Every structure is written in C-alpha cells, then in structure tokens.
A and B are shown apart, each in its own frame.
Chain A
Amino acid sequence: MTSPSATADVLAPPAESDSDNYLTHDKGILSWLLTLDHKRIGVMYLMCVMGAFSLGGLFALLLRTELLTPGRTIVEHDTYNQLFTLHGAVMVFLVIIPGIPAALGNFVLPLQLGAKDVAFPRLNLASWYLWVTGALFLVVSLVTNAADTGWTFYTPYSTTTTTSVIPALFGAFILGFSSIFTGLNFITTMHKMRPPGMTWFRMPLFLWALYSTAVIQVLATPVLAITLLMLIVERFVGIGIFDPALGGDPVLFQHFFWFYSHPAVYIMIVPAFGVVSEIIAVFSRKRIFGYKFIALSSVAIAILGFLVWGHHMFVSGQSVLAGTIFSGITFLIAIPTAIKVFNWIATMYKGRIHLDTPMLYALFFLWVFSIGGLTGIMLGVMSLDVHLHDTYFVVAHFHYVMMGGAVTAFFGGLHYWWPKMFGRMYDEKWGRIACCLLFVGLNTTFFPQFILGTRGMPRRYYNYLPEFQSLHQLSTMGAYMMGIAFLMVAVYLLRSLRKPIDAPANPWGSNTLEWRTVSPPPYYNFHDTPEVAEGPYEYADWVYDKRERGYVRKASIGS
C-alpha cells in the first residue's frame, strides 16, 4: 500500500508540484504572517535567524577589527564592551538556540514524521512572534544605550551599570518562552504523531536529538526566566537578591544563570549532533553505526547536562567539594560525546562516501567539534581551569563548539535540506569552496586564541599588552576569511532561488520520510500518510535516476 503511493509521490509530474507547493499555496504577506503551516514558520524562522546571524557576525567583525591593535583602533572602550555583549546575546539567544530546532526543526520534524504539521500549530506561530518580540527588545537595547554586561549579565555589575540592561533582560526572558513553546510542541508531536510503524527506535536520529533538546528547553528555560525576572525586580524595586549592597549574594546569580545556561549549551549542540548523524549516514550510503548508542547518548547528555553548571565557577569562591562533584560529572559527559564521534567515524568505514557540500560540513564538524570537546576536557580539570578560566582559551573552546559545532552543523543541515525547502539546488562548486574557506577561516580565527589563553590573555579585554598583538592580528585575519565565506554562501543560496524549481524529491538518496514527498513539499506535506516498515537508514532500495537527477525507490519493495 505504502510503496506505490510513495513512488507515485516521488514520480509526481513537476508541473503539478509547480502549481501547488507550500510556497505558492497562498499569496500575500498576511498569508505568511498568519500562517499555521510549520514549513512557512520554519522558513520565517530561517530568515530571522539569518538576519540575526548577519548582525551578530557584523558585531564580531567590528570586535576583531578593534583588536587589531592594543588601545583604540576604531571604537571606544565602552562601545567595545557593548559590542561584545550584543554579539554574545544575539548569537546565543537569537541564532544558535533557535537555529537548528526552530528553523530547520520546524521545517523538517513533521515531514520526518510523515505528519501534516506539529501538534500545536498556533502555539508554533506564537513562539515565532515571541522570538520577534524578544529580538525587538534586544534591538531597542541596541539603539538606546546598549547593555555592557556581557551576555552572562553577572551581578552586581548588571544591577549597577547605567546602560539599558532591562530591555535586554526582558528580550532574553521573552525569547526563553519562545524556546519553551517550541520544545513543548516538539515533545508532544513526537509522542503523538509518529506514523504507523515508526517505533521510537525507527525515528531518525535528528528527531532523537530534537527530542532531547526539547526536554532541556522545557525543563531548564523556566529557571532562566525566573532568574532574569529576579534581576529585573532587583533593578526596578531594589529588593536585594544578588547585590551584596542590598544583602544579596552575587554568586547566587551565577548558580541560577548557569543552571540554565549550561544545559542551554546542549540546546545548541545536541540538535547539531542530529543533523550530523543524518548527513554522515546518507552521504556514506550506509546504515548509521550504533544507532541506539547515538540516540541514547543524546538523552544521556541532556540529563547529565543539568548537573554540571558549577564547572563555570571553579574560581568563584564555590567550595572545593562542590567543584569536585561538578568536575566529575563534567568528565562523564565526555563519554557519550566520544561515543557519538566514534560511531560517526565507524559509519564512514566501508561506506560509499559522496563528498557533497553537506558532507563536507559534517566532516568539518567532526574536526572542529573534536577540538572543542578535547579542550573542554582541559577546562574540566579544576587545577588547569584555575589558570585557563576567563582567558581566551575559554573563548576559543566555546567558539570551536558553538561556531565550529552548532553553526557548522546548521549550515550543513541548511545545504542538506535546502533543495527540500525551496525546490532548488544550490551551486555545488561554490558550496564546496565556501565550506573550505570557512574551515580555514574558523581555524585561523580561533586556534591562535588557544595560545593567547594559555599564555594568560584574559577575555573581554579592549586593551591588551603589546606582547599579544600578533596572535590577535592572525585571529582577525581568520575572522575576515569567515566573513567572506558567509557572504559567498548568502550569494549562491539566494541566487539559487531565482532559478525555476529544479530539485528532485530525493537528491541525496535519503530514506527519511521528508524525501518521499516532492520538493518543495505541497501544503499538506503528503498525499497519504506514509507507513514505516524499516529503519531510517536503509539505502538499498534507493537508486539514482539520471532523468530525475535524484533518487527513486525501487518499485519492487513491499512493506
């Protein structure tokens, strides 16, 4: 029953798909702003996240330019402090946290489930509006007197500075709810709307990753909301919670903040694991190695991630006992993470590897994420962290993980699903060039920062001792390279949209359900609810068809 209809979908005449897909189904700006279609909401998220990414990237380039010389290069010290605060806040709250789950996840999750939409489409739209509102608050803070506290808002600095901290805090507060709503929606959708035959262990690993992420979003984000609210109350009403001058405890804020923000690191990276799992299997034409280990390691990371926040605070005056427990659990997280990397490598063994752009991004991810992970072990050692804490070593470490991990996987996923989202193939040659330039740029930017850090250069420094200048300049050169690479990506992706629809239903030969419908998908996603009789990584039945310029399923298979 399934296979003929699935085949029919794949082979549906292009004329029909042209006339009706989710992009052309309704017309007008209101049909977008009031849409309940998860695909359109995903695309709107994508546009917004990309806009925020450009803004955050611009801040980063300004920061790196300022650091070309010690002392003043282009801006004053206060402006520099505001720039790194906004760079951090925009990249964390507006880009990396919603990037994969809200932009790619919204588009892909229901399709991978063979469903028509998420469980609560209205809540989904509401979470997009919350994102926009939160972003507006950050912009208000930006154009008034931007906060200069760092994205961590440490007290008592944040309660005493004269900059407009409250709009920024309120923005982050609202963005938290956007994140919670998305998480709730995804959990419910995965529990209730899996198609017939899709058991938990037949779900694509991207969905396992999104599930783990959603659990963290729902459980950890309220703590951030409460913390930020307490901070607002302290600033507005003068109730002493964190400010020692009012009888509060400034370190309490750090505990609250990291109780959210460490799990939030996993909100950023776990979906990236999901994307990489999909890409490596599909482009190796091989069943993913250790499916259950990869799936459950995401869950393990999500759970353990709640118990390690104190490793941000080894030199804060926290007790030795607390530090020891946090350090120990931090090391445990290395195990599920290592399991993932080993399984991805094992998947490539004896596969048939296609080095298209998404796969290049996945390999890129493996390399830089491993560097990020291994330097994370160094930072988890309490004695070594005493030296490295709050230096450029930490900056390099988390950029390797966040930029090299989360952002790289996001771009890998974007290239992987781009044909499905917009029905156009991007320019493969430029895709590979940009990816390689990005790889060189990223390592040139952040590797010197490891050396800066071990040699004692503290972070968040506007001015620095002249001994550090060369490494800073090298780092800035790398940042310019990355800027050029991202510009290239923007140009060839946008150019592809001017072409007529040319993407096949399944350009990469994937066996997950989103590729069983035409590209771009029709408004209702599937003509018939697909049934699932096998795992998501069975590629034997998909053969490349030259006329289609994509993969089609052998008609002979039965369900």
Chain B
Amino acid sequence: MNTMLALLLGARWLGARLLEGGLLGRLVAAAAPVGGLPDPPKVPPSPWFWMPNSASNFASATDGMFDALLWISLICMIGLAYAMVYFCRRYRATSREANEPALSQVDHSNTLEVTWSIIPLFVVIGVFVVGFKQFVDLKTPPRAAYEVHATGQRWKWGFEYPEGLTHPELHVPLGKDVRILIQSVDVIHSLYIPEFRVKQDAVPGRYTELWFKATQVGTFPIYCAEYCGTSHSDMLSRVVVHTPEDFKAWVAEEIRKIEAMPLAELGELTFNQSGCSTCHSLDGSPKVGPSFKGVFGRQEKIFGQGTITVDENYIRESILEPQAKLVEGFPPAMPTFKGQLSDRRILGLVEYIKTSASTGEPVPKSAAPGSAAPESKDAPPSNSPADAKGGHP
C-alpha cells in the first residue's frame, strides 16, 4: 500500500516537473518573431494532465471520449501486464535440461474466441457511435454564426473579419457561435486550436470550415498542423476570446488605429502582420531572405544582373515582384504581395525599411492611444524584451 502511494506521489511529482518544463531546465530561452507576430503565443496552464485547457463547447465531449478510452486502455493494459507477469512466474520452466512438458496442451476454445471477439466488438461499436455523433456536431456549424475568413500562407495566418479588418490574430466573442472559413494560397496548412479541440486543413483551391463556441475568456495558441516547409513550426498565431462588448470595442479600435497611423508605424505593423519577419531579420542575421539591418542604400549583388543600390523603388518592386531582382545567395522563396497590400501600406513598408528597420532606431510612436503595438490590449504581456529580441533560432 505504501509502495503504491510512494509510486503515485513520485509519478505526480515527475508529472508536475514535466508539465512545468523544468526537467533539465530551459537550456535556451528562445523567443523569436513567428507567423507575423512580434512574440510567440503562450500555452496557458491546464487543469488536466493529458488535455490542454478546455475553452470551447467541444472540449467536454472530446475529453470525455478520451477519458473513457483511456480507462478502457488502462484496464486492458493492467490485465495484460498481470497475465504476462503472472504466467511468466507461475509457468516458468526451471531449465532446458528438465524437459518439462507444458501443463496443458489445450489449443482452442470456441467459447473463449467468441467471447473475446464479441466483447471488444460491442465496445468499439459503442465508441464508434458516440464518436460519429460528436463528429457530426463538429462538422455542422449553426446557421447564424459569426464568420471569419482565415487564410493560410507560408508561414503566417491571416484573419479577415466581416467589419473589414484583417489581422494576424483570431479574436472572437465569448459564447457566440463562430464559423471560420479557411483557405490557403499556396500549400496545404492546417488550422489547429488545441484549447478548442478543433482542427481543419486549409487546402488550396477550395474552402474548408470549422466552427466553435468559445467558453472561456483568454488567449490560446494557434498552430499550423500540416507540414508546409521551412518555417512550418513558426506558423503560429493566437486566438483571443473577449466578452462580446470588449470584442466590439476591439474591432472598432483596430480599424481606427490603422487609419490614423503614421507611415513608418503602419509599415512596422505591416512588417509584423504580413509575415515579413518570418524571413527577414532586423539584427543582421540572414534567414530565408536578407536581413533589413542597414539595407537601405546598400549595394546588393543581384543574381544575374550585376549590382544595384537598394532604394525606394527597389523595395517597392521586391514587394510586388519578388523574383525580378534576387539578391545573390537567397532562394526565390518570397510570395508576391501584389493586390494584398494597399498602396498606403506599401508606402508604409518602404518608409519603415528605409528608416528604423535599416538603422535599428525604434519607430517614433505617434501619440494616439493604443496605436503602439499591433497587439490587442487583452493579449497577455509578451515575453520580456530580452527574450523577444533574441535572434531567429
């Protein structure tokens, strides 16, 4: 009994260490701009051992199914372990020389075979029926849902709200049915929100959908779950659940902010939102594309076209026709942003790259309240500045 208790306590202790992330310590505190966000999302602590926090209408059904199967599995495994250990001890041969025959040569029993076929059959039929019902729920969005369009693109998510706002984060009102219509502009991605227990592939050439009703105010990570290349693991975002009033206020504020922004600030926002930071660093280290540190006015060797000076027109052309003049040594990986960015945003980007991205000076912040960061005020405080400035891993 004491042994059991000690084992249980030991397992609890180990489990806690594991889930807190303290086994060998954090060898590297890595936080880099990911998926068009200035800092990576955080996983909020979960009250469960197996599952993450439950924040949508689907969590209880999915977790209930998991728990039921976990218990069935545990019973099976305990039975199996007991039989294996017991038989090996009870029927262990003493030695080869002893030539002991088996205690029984009974080699079939139709009753047993039927029993251990029928019982699992009934179990799996039950599991199947319940799983089917839950799946139909997952796949049937209510008619009057609030609709957000999600677009997957290497390597960022974009969310377009019916009010005419595009944002790299998904913000939703608490307790309202939300339907996400998903598309991809390049390869297959998959929109995954563990805390909501929902996931849906984004397939180029067609729309897919998922829906949920958030049941908890908070911020939860969004992942890309379908492998999509180099920075697949940085294609993250976050979902922020507001109370309905806060949500309305957030949308209005975001729209107002963008309209009022000075050019360089709009450029910085666009730099973060449009996924530029996934491939272009600000600290001089080359990533998929050249770093923006000191880029303006620099002489660049262009693949097959000699040398040019980086000026406003070159930056504009690189945003709209990225393959036209490639800096030597970098792959033709950049997608075009033609038709995706407004003229003012492109001008903003040019201004931003020309000034602060190139020089390393911070963008002068306008006095307008709330316009400093692309973050929502509901978002949790981001990691410490030291972390956030760390180079790309």
Nearest CB of chain A from residue B157's CB, rounded to whole Å: 14
Closest Cβ neighbor of A345 among chain B residues:
B83
Instruction: Knowing A70-B393, A286-B105, say if A320 contacts B128 (CB, 8 Å).
Output: no
Interface stretch of the complex, out of B1-9, B107-115, B158-166, B339-347? B107-115
Closest Cβ neighbor of A289 among chain B residues:
B107
Closest Cβ neighbor of B100 among chain A residues:
A352
A345-389 contacts to B (CB < 8 Å): 345-346, 348-355, 363, 366-367, 370-371, 374-375, 377-378, 380-384, 386-387, 389
- B306 on interface, CB distance cutoff 8 Å: no
B84, B96, B206, B231: the one within 8 Å of A77 (CB): B231
Which among B97, B190, B225 has the highest number of chain A CB atoms within 10 Å?
Answer: B225
Q: What are 10 A-B residue pairs whose CB atoms fall within 8 Å in the complex?
A: A70-B393, A157-B227, A161-B229, A317-B203, A352-B101, A374-B72, A383-B138, A451-B49, A458-B192, A459-B227
- B324 on interface, CB distance cutoff 8 Å: no
- B127 on interface, CB distance cutoff 8 Å: yes
Chain A residues within an 8 Å CB radius of B128:
327-328, 331, 380-381
9 extra A-B contacts, CB within 8 A, seeds A71-B393, A386-B199, A468-B43: A157-B228, A315-B190, A320-B135, A339-B116, A345-B84, A354-B96, A374-B72, A377-B73, A382-B132
CA distance A370 to B65 in the complex (A): 19
Q: Which 6 A-B pairs have the closest CB atoms?
A: A71-B393, A456-B194, A244-B205, A383-B134, A71-B30, A381-B131
Chain A residues within an 8 Å CB radius of B221:
456, 465
Chain A residues within an 8 Å CB radius of B51:
454-455
Nearest CB of chain A from residue B211's CB, rounded to whole Å: 12
B132 pairs with A327, CB closer than 8 A: yes
Nearest CB of chain A from residue B106's CB, rounded to whole Å: 8
CA distance A235 to B101 in the complex (A): 63
Question: C-beta contact mask, A439-461 vs B, less than 8 Å → 1, else 0?
Answer: 00000000010010011101111
- B298 on interface, CB distance cutoff 8 Å: no
B88 pairs with A157, CB closer than 8 A: no
A58-98 contacts to B (CB < 8 Å): 68-73, 77-78, 81
Residues of chain A at the chain B interface (Cβ within 8 Å)? 68-73, 77-78, 81, 148-150, 154, 156-157, 160-162, 244-245, 249-251, 284-293, 314-317, 320, 323-324, 327-328, 331-332, 334-335, 338-339, 341-343, 345-346, 348-355, 363, 366-367, 370-371, 374-375, 377-378, 380-384, 386-387, 389-391, 448, 451, 454-456, 458-471, 473-474, 509, 537, 539-540, 543-544, 546
Closest Cβ neighbor of A454 among chain B residues:
B50
Nearest CB of chain A from residue B197's CB, rounded to whole Å: 4
- B195 on interface, CB distance cutoff 8 Å: yes
CA distance A440 to B387 in the complex (A): 36
Chain B residues within an 8 Å CB radius of A293:
108, 113
B227 pairs with A290, CB closer than 8 A: no
A150, A352, A464, A546: the one within 8 Å of B102 (CB): A352
- B252 on interface, CB distance cutoff 8 Å: no
A348 pairs with B223, CB closer than 8 A: no
Chain A residues within an 8 Å CB radius of B117:
335, 338-339
Nearest CB of chain A from residue B291's CB, rounded to whole Å: 16
Chain B residues within an 8 Å CB radius of A70:
28, 30, 393
Instruction: Knowing A355-B92, A384-B62, say if A288 contacts B120 (CB, 8 Å).
Output: no
Chain B residues within an 8 Å CB radius of A291:
107-108
A461 pairs with B233, CB closer than 8 A: yes
Interface stretch of the complex, out of B16-24, B242-250, B309-317, B353-361? B16-24
B22, B65, B96, B197: the one within 8 Å of A470 (CB): B22
Nearest CB of chain A from residue B280's CB, rounded to whole Å: 15
Chain A residues within an 8 Å CB radius of B73:
371, 374-375, 377-378
A474 pairs with B23, CB closer than 8 A: yes
B84 pairs with A456, CB closer than 8 A: no
A374 pairs with B76, CB closer than 8 A: yes
Closest Cβ neighbor of A390 among chain B residues:
B225
A316 pairs with B108, CB closer than 8 A: no
A382 pairs with B134, CB closer than 8 A: yes
Closest Cβ neighbor of A346 among chain B residues:
B112
Chain A residues within an 8 Å CB radius of B224:
458
Chain B contact patch, size range: 35 or more
A77, A352, A390, A463: the one within 8 Å of B93 (CB): A352
A382 pairs with B187, CB closer than 8 A: no
A315 pairs with B103, CB closer than 8 A: no
Closest Cβ neighbor of A538 among chain B residues:
B105
Nearest CB of chain B from residue A382's CB, rounded to whole Å: 4
A353 pairs with B88, CB closer than 8 A: yes
Nearest CB of chain B from residue A334's CB, rounded to whole Å: 5
A289 pairs with B233, CB closer than 8 A: no
A353 pairs with B188, CB closer than 8 A: no
Chain A residues within an 8 Å CB radius of B230:
77-78, 81, 148
B188 pairs with A154, CB closer than 8 A: yes
B120 pairs with A465, CB closer than 8 A: no
Chain A residues within an 8 Å CB radius of B145:
none
Closest Cβ neighbor of A331 among chain B residues:
B124
Closest Cβ neighbor of A337 among chain B residues:
B120
- B215 on interface, CB distance cutoff 8 Å: no
A353 pairs with B91, CB closer than 8 A: yes
Chain B residues within an 8 Å CB radius of A390:
190, 192, 199, 225-226
Chain B residues within an 8 Å CB radius of A249:
205
Question: C-beta contact mask, B17-53 vs A, less than 8 Å → 1, else 0?
Answer: 1111111101111111010000011110010011110
B87 pairs with A353, CB closer than 8 A: yes
CA distance A157 to B186 in the complex (A): 8
- B386 on interface, CB distance cutoff 8 Å: no
Instruction: Knowing A290-B107, A290-B108, A377-B124, say if A349 contacts B234 (CB, 8 Å).
Output: no
